[in-house]
Every structure is written in structure tokens, then in C-alpha cells.
Structure 1
């Protein structure tokens, strides 16, 4: 499976997703500051992967600390958490992972652990966050494979694959599981402007797995659906509100509306850690706005004239009414989502 992020020689190592598919380059992070920069500059991206990276960044800072007392270690720990929390505002997995690390640290402090014991505990917790994410992706993939017909043609937007998670993927986890079940699926990957995650990352991942993949521009999905060449749409999510509204990569809402118009079921695949029960609906989800240069330039080439206004939200919100089902590691959540998502969250809490 694709090594999105891992430990190597005491450092956090991640593939630089900005360089794909032309070059497979790995970045080595020696500090939480380096991990935070990697998240902010999209060396690593995708809600679950950001959460994994944040937990590993905290563990890295604790691991390299020279504190001789637990009070000083706590100062450094919480400072690292604050630094990582300030990187990107929309993906709730980031905050979920940091809160989990904080709980573990606080409980361990209360239990009287020493500095060395705390380092071991936090290191182990970060590893669990990573490993559980991969397991969650595989589980939701198995559930999601049920909604993909044999020979199914799947349209996806952005990249919700191994690169966007600890490994295996959410939306692409569904595709992989369907393929492993012998369903011989084919995928249409929206290029996903302006960062081109679909063209660069989704196609790269799936072709490495030998899965039939066709790249289309974002403006082609409606015509593709109208021609009857899409059986299902499967996308990931960066935050799911309590009512089932879904924040995902900009352009997802457009795909959902088109899918509804053409009678194509629109599925969201995400672990329960992406569900935010404290956010009642999509209007309360903070939407990150990124550098205008991502739209006005492609590398060194200028695409838009100087003086043109630019609006560059990284995400949009798809209302729950456009979502057929939400696929999680605890099963498929169906409308009304307020009830089914609450039940999934309760299952996750009971599982510890």
C-alpha cells in the first residue's frame, strides 16, 4: 500500500503530494513546526491524513524534547498542539486527532507518568491513530463496495485515496474494495481545479493499482452523466455536520446537484472521525480560503490577467438532501442522517 506518511529513523516521512505525478519525492520532518508547514503548504492533504500527520507531529515534538520535568514537557506538548491546530480550519479530523492526543496526555499526567513514560505513551497513541485510520478505511471500503455494481462506472472528485488517509483511502477505498471483490470497476476522475488532485493524485494512485481510470475536466461531469456513463458518484469528506451536510473539496456541490438531476446516487465515504456532532449543519462549517495564486498561475505560467479579482475557497458544502448514503467504518448511514450519524458516533465511542 502507498506509504503516505510513516516513521523512519525518528523522523516523520511523507510523500510530497505537490510533486506528483511527475516526481515521487519524500519530505522528512524533524519537528512539529516542519509537520505544520507540510500540512499548510499541502505537502500532505486530505482530512484523515492531516489528522494522522498532526498526531505524529505532536509525538515528534514530545519525542525530541529535552524537558527534565513533566510540567515543562506539558508546555511543549500543548504548544505543539496549538501550532498544528492553526494550519487548516475545515478538516475536522485535524482537531479530532489533536483532542485525542490531549486526552491521552492529560490522563497519563494524572496517572503520574514520568517524562520517559509520557514520551512512550504519546508515541504509541500517534501510531494507533495511524493504524486505526488504515483499518477504518478498509472497513468502510468493504461496506461501500456493496453500493458499487459489477462493472460499475464510478465518478469521483478530488482525491480521497491512500494519499488522503493513513492508507487505502475513503472514496478510493470503496473503489479498491469493489475491485478486490472482482467487480471490475472503472473510474472517472474529475481533475479538480485549482490544485488538480484528481488528475494528479487520484489517477496516479488508481493506475498504480491497475484500475481503469479516465481523467475529465470539472466541467465535463454533467455531460458524462447525461450520456449515461456514470453509475455512482463516490466522494470523501473533510467535515460532516450532525445533519449530514458535507464539506468537501470545492466543486463537490456541483457534482452532487448534477447527480441528483440525472438520477445518479451520490455517496460520501468517510470515517466517523470526520463527523462533527458539534456542528449542527453546513452553515457552521468554516471554509478555508487559499492563496489566489493557485488560480491565477499554474507553476510559473500566469493564467489570468493582473487586476482580475479571484475567489478561492478550498471547500464547499453539499446539503444532506443531495446525499444518498454516508459510508463509514461502522456501516452505511442512511437518511435521516441526524439519527444514523449519531448512532455511528455512539458505536465509535463505545469501541473506545
Structure 2
């Protein structure tokens, strides 16, 4: 059994970021183009992108977008202005744990990169891509490990999830919903009960949408 339509909420497209607008789901599927760090900050605040991991991945690209906008070629001045970009993004969502450590990691890369400003910018983009891939691989591993500890039963499983811990909250595949996906791909799953979380009904809107998209 194969996944019908994998969901990736944060996608880098050559020179800009594309986000699935999670406020419009499930009624509308809309992609928001982000080319500036300021626009990403607004997208985080407005919950166009949500979920700690997805916010962290988006913020990594946001640091790069902010770096790209800085015209300074003198290293110290560039790093000083990059700190301001980082603070703007950091202030968008104080409870998103991934946001803080991703920003710290990106700033560390900027400080430790040897060479001129152009080299720093290039290193930031590569690091953002690496952070995204690391999170995606972690989600695949969570799904695989979770699948292995699900109970063995004569009948197919019925699983209940709460809120949205799926692809939309991560780089893709999801954490708790990653286990659901893995069970589905193993043909061990009969049904998913997606319960909600107030006030935005992430389970009823987002988890259910993800399952429908992938044929679960």
C-alpha cells in the first residue's frame, strides 16, 4: 500500500519558500509564497505555518532569506544585522521550542563560516536544507519505531490521535501521525479517529485532511 499524496508544509523552491496555508484547510488548498524574512515572521504569527518542527524548518529558511536581504559586505556589520533578523523571527512564537534552537544553530553557522559574506549566505541555505532533511528523516524513524510497538491483533487496528502531530506540523510525515502512516502502509490499520484541539480544531481540520489526502 502506497501513500497517495505526501504532504510537505514547507518547500524551498529555487529562490523562495512555499508554505501550505493551514488556516484555509480543509476547505481550500493554498500555497503562500515567502521571499522575505518579514513575511515569514507574519506567516508564523498568523499560524499559516504551525507546529514546532515545521516552524523551526521555516525559520531556518527565514534566516537565509533575511541574510540574502542584507546588503552589507563587511563581515561584522553583516552578522550584526543578521542578529536583528534572528530576533524578529525569535519573537514570533516564544513557545515553539524548535524555533529557538534552529535560530541558534543558524547563527552559529554564520559566525563559524570562514570566508566572505557570500560564503556565509551560501552556508546558511545549505544548513536550512540540512535541518529540513534531518527533521524529515527523524519523522520517518519515529513512524518506523512506533509501528513496531503497536499491538499485534487478529483484526486491523483502530487508532486515535489528538490535535495534529502530522506532516503539517513537521517537515513531513509527522510524529504521532507518522506512526499512523506507517501502520497504514503496512496494511494494519482500519480506521483513524482524529480528535480536535481547541480553539483551532487541528485534529478535525488538519489531521483529518492529511488522512484523506493520503487515502487513509
Normalised by the length of structure 2, the TM-score is 0.92
- Residue 79 (structure 1) shift: 0.9
Which residue pairs with 1:207 in the alignment? 212
Which residue pairs with 1:226 in the alignment? none
Which structure's residues are more often strand, by fraction? Answer: 1
- Residue 100 (structure 1) shift: 1.1
Which residue pairs with 2:50 in the alignment? 45
RMSD, aligned α-carbons: 1.3
Which residue pairs with 2:125 in the alignment? 123
The equivalent position to 1:143 in structure 2, one of 145, 165, 178, is 145
Which residue pairs with 1:233 in the alignment? none
- Residue 65 (structure 1) shift: 2.4
The answer to whether the 8 A contact 2:158-2:189 is kept is: no
Larger relative CO (CA 8 A, sep 6+): 1 or 2? 2
1:88 aligns with 2:88: no
1:57 aligns with 2:41: no
The answer to whether the 8 A contact 1:52-1:126 is kept is: yes
- Residue 207 (structure 1) shift: 1.2
The structure having more radius of gyration, on CA atoms, is 1
- Residue 9 (structure 1) shift: 4.1
Which residue pairs with 1:333 in the alignment? none
Which residue pairs with 1:26 in the alignment? 31
1:114 aligns with 2:119: no
* Whole-angstrom distance in 2 between the partners of 1:128 and 1:163: 18
- Residue 190 (structure 1) shift: 0.8
The equivalent position to 2:136 in structure 1, one of 121, 134, 137, is 134
Which sections of structure 2, spanning at least 5 residues, go unmatched? 1-5
1:98 aligns with 2:103: yes
The answer to whether the 8 A contact 2:194-2:204 is kept is: yes
- Residue 148 (structure 1) shift: 2.2
* Whole-angstrom distance in 2 between the partners of 1:179 and 1:9: 33
Aligned-partner SS, 1:90:
coil
- Residue 84 (structure 1) shift: 0.8
Deviations 1:104-127 (A, max 9, x none): 11211xx3x111110110010001
- Residue 66 (structure 1) shift: 1.8
Which residue pairs with 1:287 in the alignment? none
Deviations 1:285-339 (A, max 9, x none): xxxxxxxxxxxxxxxxxxxxxxxxxxxxxxxxxxxxxxxxxxxxxxxxxxxxxxx
Aligned-partner SS, 2:184:
helix
How many residue pairs get aligned? The number is: 208
1:2 aligns with 2:4: no
Normalised by the length of structure 1, the TM-score is 0.57
1:11 aligns with 2:16: yes
* Whole-angstrom distance in 2 between the partners of 1:168 and 1:185: 19
Aligned-partner SS, 2:24:
coil
